[in-house]
Amino acid sequence: MATHPRAPEPIAPGAAITLASSTFAFTICFAVWMLFAVLGIPLKQELGLSDTEFGLLAATPVLSGSLIRVPLGIWTDRYGGRIVFFVLMLATVIPIWLISYAHTLWQLLVLGLFVGLAGGSFSVGTPYVARWFPRSRQGLAMGIFGAGNSGAALTKFVAPAMILAAGTWTVVPRVYSVAMLVTALLFWVFSRSNPAHLVKSSVGWREQLAVMRDPRVWRYSQYYSVVFGGYVGLSLWMTKYYIGEYGFDIKTAAFLAACFSLPGGVLRAIGGWISDRYGAHRTTWWVMWVSWVGFFLLSYPQTDFIVQTTSGPQGFRIALTPTVFTFLLFVVGIAFAIGKASVFKFISNDFTHNIGAVSGVVGLAGGLGGFVLPVLFGMLADLTGVRSSCFMLMYGTVCVSLVWMHYSQRAERQRKAQAVGLTQAA
């Protein structure tokens, strides 16, 4: 009997415009979330901050944007992504504007906590977008939405140009505040709602958070803390790294740092397609291996040494040129983009009815990684004086993921083999 290919599942009316408006809104939110990655450079000089203090300033918005992800995911399940997304963006407009009037570290940290709420938009948009699409296309849809991570690169292109043109950093938060307000209004006009996507009101918070007892949630959280937390942490840190390591000015440093941020955001959509086609586990496995090799090479510090040869002492130097360094960072950015999508493909496969709560938990873990890493990068730089110590830390986190993936997959194969054996025995 001839077999016929299965017809593609239909896409609901309004899905495409909702995806487009949500992706645009998330891009602007992410650009705001990464604001201190560039703004922190002149502020570090103006306030005389140490590397640790710079890391804390850059990462503070990431903290609040991470902590709010779980309740935002649950509210999205219960009240709908459109209203939650809209209110969230409006809540950040005034704090962004007030940054231009802050001139002490504590003021910037407090405002950074409020501005950071924009980063929680990921836990709103992910379940909001996913429910508009059939399961076979959710990986691609979430990948397209997640491409809004490219807002990190947008900030690296736009903010330095505004600082140089205006001669002051204070113009940047004012422009970003207006941009956020306009984005919120455009999102409300073009996005759509579907009451069928809401979780029944009888389902309480305790029931929705019960998924946290599932060990898969913690495993996916660890993976995401590497691919997303690492992406955020390095996006915040790389502009400063280029300035310190290679002596570039802020515009050139931000442009080269965007070679990591841009593919790490835009190519997430391709990661969703790859995950749909080849599976979440296989895709994530290769992402971790590519990252492992990349961080191993990036970790080696610039080194000068002398070797005693038969013809006398000879000096040697081992160092990554800016070109080689940027290429390796570009490769890692691609891997992280694909990995961010593949982790959420795990979630859409395993937690169809709790995708909002689970994506909130996993997003929280990734965001906390993005908060902790820049602080640790600064502490390691202050303690060791070795700038590449940030990549040494990332190398270690990838090793943990590879070991955990190996043993979890082996345990899964054993469970399947036992299930098959019991079925045959019966």
pLDDT tens column, 237-268: 998 899 989 999 888 998 898 888 888 777 77
- Give helix 135-146 / helix 15-33 axis angle, nearest 10°: 40
The vertex-64 CA angle with 396 and 399, nearest 5°, equals 10
Reported as a pLDDT band with limits 50, 70 and 90, residue 2 is very low
| Residue 12 CA from chain centroid, whole number | 28
- Give helix 135-146 / helix 121-130 axis angle, nearest 10°: 150
> Chain-wide mean pLDDT for the chain?
85
Collapse the DSSP code of 419 into the 3-class scheme (helix H, G, I; strand E, B; otherwise coil) and give the result. helix
Reply yes or no on whether the pLDDT at 1 is more than 70: no
What's the pLDDT score for residue 182? 96
CA distance 344 to 12: 21
- The domains of the chain, with CATH numbers, are 17-303+317-415 (1.20.1250.20)
CA distance 375 to 54: 8
**Amino acid identity, position 298:** L
Q: What percent of the chain has pLDDT above 90?
A: 33
- pLDDT for 297-327, tens place per residue? 999 888 888 888 888 888 888 889 999 999 9
In sequence order, which residues have a C-beta less than 8 Å from that of residue 374 and are 6 or more positions away? 55, 56, 58, 59, 62, 233, 236, 237
- pLDDT for 343-379, tens place per residue? 888 887 777 666 767 777 887 888 888 888 988 999 9
Q: Provide the token pair at 417.
A: 């083999």
φ, ψ (nearest 5 deg) of residue 80: 105, 140
Please report, for residues 26, 99, 135, 236, 285, the alpha-carbon distance to residue 170 in angstroms, rounded to integers and kept in the order given.
Answer: 23, 8, 45, 19, 44
What's the pLDDT score for residue 202? 46
In sequence order, which residues have a C-beta less than 8 Å from that of residue 342 and are 6 or more positions away? 271, 274, 275, 280, 283, 284, 287
CA distance 366 to 361: 9
**Beta strand ranges found along 77-150 (DSSP E):** none
- DSSP track, 173-235: HHHHHHHHHHHHHHHHHH----GGGSPPTTS-HHHHHGGGGSHHHHHHHHHHHHHHHHHHHHH
- pLDDT for 130-180, tens place per residue? 888 887 777 778 778 878 878 888 888 888 889 888 888 999 999 999 999
CA distance 374 to 111: 18
Dihedral of alpha carbons 202, 205, 210, 216, sign? positive
Sequence-ordered alpha helix ranges (H) in 351-388: 355-384
Reply yes or no on whether the pLDDT at 419 is more than 60: no
What's the pLDDT score for residue 3? 46
